[in-house]
């Protein structure tokens, strides 16, 4: 039960952070991070072929890995359902970001990258849950 409470607490913190990034001006932090990653990649690692947008895509993928994992861990839904729910949530966020009052840019690329991240997180969480379930059934009670 303690494990589940911890996962729920992490999930709540994640949702709050995601909403702050999606709907408030704090999102400029991700823009600055994208630019810094590009500068390091282009000038320190000599990856001039990697465009700034690529770093933004990578950050969007990473941002939604926890979403997919948390849906599997909290709701115990199948990985594919968790990935679909997370992708639908991403699409809903983009629709809200399209509102002029938020001064945000809504893109299909964000939905695709977020969905990919959610899929990755859901599959990884599914593998962990399956491993734990197999371990629990193979370990005799003492």
pLDDT tens digit string along 4-43? 788 899 999 999 989 888 888 776 777 788 888 888 888 8
User: Span 123-131, mean pLDDT?
Assistant: 93
How far, in Å, CA of 128 to CA of 142, rounded? 23
How far, in Å, CA of 60 to CA of 63, rounded? 5
Domain that holds residue 20: 2-138
User: Span 89-104, mean pLDDT?
Assistant: 86
Band of pLDDT at residue 47, cut at 50, 70 and 90? confident
- Structural domains counted in the chain: 1
Calculate the alpha carbon distances from 70 to 20, 22, 61, 73, 82 in Å: 18, 18, 15, 5, 9
Look at residues 84, 88, 90 and name the one whose alpha carbon lies nearest to residue 119: 84
């Amino acid at each position: 039960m303690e494990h589940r409470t911890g996962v729920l607490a992490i999930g709540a913190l994640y949702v709050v952070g995601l909403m702050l990034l999606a709907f408030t001006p704090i999102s400029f932090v991700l823009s600055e991070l994208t630019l810094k990653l590009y500068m390091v990649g282009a000038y320190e690692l000599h990856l001039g072929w990697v465009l700034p947008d690529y770093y933004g895509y990578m950050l969007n993928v990473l941002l939604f890995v926890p979403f997919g994992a948390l849906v599997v861990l909290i709701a115990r839904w199948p990985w594919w359902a968790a990935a679909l729910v997370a992708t639908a949530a991403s699409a809903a966020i983009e629709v809200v970001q399209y509102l002029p009052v938020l001064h945000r840019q809504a893109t299909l690329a964000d939905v695709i990258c977020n969905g990919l991240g959610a899929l990755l997180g859901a599959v990884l969480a599914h593998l962990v849950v399956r491993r734990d379930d197999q371990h629990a059934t193979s370990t005799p009670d003492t």
